[in-house]
């Protein structure tokens, strides 16, 4: 890695700060992922320990420097506790290629049904379109995750189809169908 590191963006909303995670956030990340309700609609159960969370955060930071992945940590203003994350993956190649990106998200159950994820995603979507210059954002949702589908539809995402047995959940070793949705600039 070069000596000049790219500065990770900080996004602010009325209630939230979206920022890069550091090693100090590992315990928060591990704590909310320990709730199986948080990870049941994802493709993994999250970090296995605080030490694993530290390694993941370091890896995500490296990927950001390589221009191949971003994962915003979600923090409520006035607190310094990670309550969720929003990962962004370019579909192919680095961000600078301006190709479609895939958006994901997770949130501690303590903060569900408060409009927090909608607020956070609005800021990240604006960042993807305005700063990164991408034209298309996709999301993949397990069909029985009604809350997630509702959030995305509220933000203007449109359903494009069903991908059969497209998502493999590494934790429980099962394949899941996903509904694919997209938002265009």
Q: Between 99 and 171, whose confidence is greater? A: 99
| Contact call for residues 167 and 179 (beta carbons, < 8 A) | no
Compute the distance between CA of residue 9 and CA of residue 7 in angstroms, rounded to an integer.
6
Residue 145 lies in a domain: no
pLDDT at 138 over 50: yes
Q: Which residues contact 43 (CB under 8 A, 6 or more apart)?
A: 167, 168, 169, 170
Which of 22-31, 45-54, 160-169 reaches the highest mean pLDDT? 22-31
Residue 86 lies in a domain: yes
Residue 26 lies in a domain: yes
Percent above pLDDT 70 for the chain: 96
Rounded to 10°, the helix 116-126/146-154 angle is 50
Residue 67 lies in a domain: yes
Nearest 5°: phi and psi at 120? -65, -45
For 28, the domain range is 11-138
pTM metric for this prediction = 0.92
Residue 152 lies in a domain: no
Residue 2 lies in a domain: no
The pLDDT of residue 3: 55
Compute the distance between CA of residue 116 and CA of residue 182 in angstroms, rounded to an integer.
21
Residue 23 lies in a domain: yes
Nearest 5°: phi and psi at 72? -75, 135
CB atoms within 10 A of CB 166: 15
Whichever domain contains 109, its CATH number is 3.40.630.30
Number of compact structural domains in the chain? 1
Residue 118 lies in a domain: yes
Q: For residue range 5-49, what is the model confidence (pLDDT) as tens digits?
A: 899 999 999 999 999 999 999 999 999 988 888 777 676 668 889
CA distances from 85 to 29, 74, 158, 160 (A): 9, 6, 22, 24
């Amino acid at each position: 890695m070069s000596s000049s590191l790219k500065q990770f963006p900080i996004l602010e909303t009325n209630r939230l700060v979206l920022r890069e995670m550091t090693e100090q956030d590992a315990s928060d990340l591990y704590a909310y992922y320990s709730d199986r309700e948080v990870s049941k609609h994802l493709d993994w159960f999250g970090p296995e320990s605080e030490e694993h969370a530290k390694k993941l955060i370091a890896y995500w930071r490296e990927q950001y420097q390589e221009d191949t992945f971003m994962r915003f940590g979600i923090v409520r203003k006035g607190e310094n506790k990670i309550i969720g994350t929003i990962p962004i993956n370019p579909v192919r190649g680095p961000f600078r290629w301006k190709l479609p990106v895939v958006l994901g998200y997770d949130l501690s159950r303590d903060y569900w049904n408060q409009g927090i994820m909608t607020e956070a995603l609005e800021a990240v979507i604006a960042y993807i379109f305005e700063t990164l210059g991408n034209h298309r954002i996709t999301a993949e949702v397990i069909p029985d995750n009604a809350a997630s589908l509702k959030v995305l539809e509220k933000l203007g995402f449109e359903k494009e189809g069903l991908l059969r047995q497209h998502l493999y959940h590494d934790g429980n070793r099962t394949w899941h169908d996903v509904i694919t949705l997209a938002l265009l600039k």
